[in-house]
Amino acid sequence: MFTGVKVFSATKAKEREELGEAITRWLRSNADLEIVDRVVCQSSDNEFHCYTVVLFYRQGGAAAANASAKP
C-alpha cells in the first residue's frame, strides 16, 4: 500500500541528463519515506524523447515510528 506518489519527467536533453540527480536529491530530502514501487517509462516521437519515473511511497522510518507511538 502507498500513501503518496512523486513523478519526475524530462523531455529536453539537459533535463534527461539531470534526472538522476533530481531524483537522488528528492530521495535524500525525504529520507523518512519508504519507496514501495516504481514505474519507469520512455516515450518518443520523431523529435522528442520523454523519460518519466514514478515513485510510490509511504511514510516509513522515524516518521512512521513517531506517528504510531503517539497516544
Domains of the chain: which residue ranges?
A: 4-66
Cell of 3: 500513501
Higher pLDDT, 69 or 59: 59
Tell me the HSE value of 48 on the side-chain side, using a 13 A CA sphere.
9
3-state secondary structure at position 31: coil
Give me the pLDDT at residue 20, please. Answer: 95
What architecture does CATH give domain 4-66? 3-Layer(bab) Sandwich (3.55)
- Residues 1-35 have pLDDT tens digits of 999 999 999 999 999 999 999 999 999 999 999 99
**Residues contacting 63, CB < 8 A, separation 6+:** 32, 33
Bridge partners (DSSP) listed for residue 39: 54
Give me the pLDDT at residue 64, please. Answer: 53
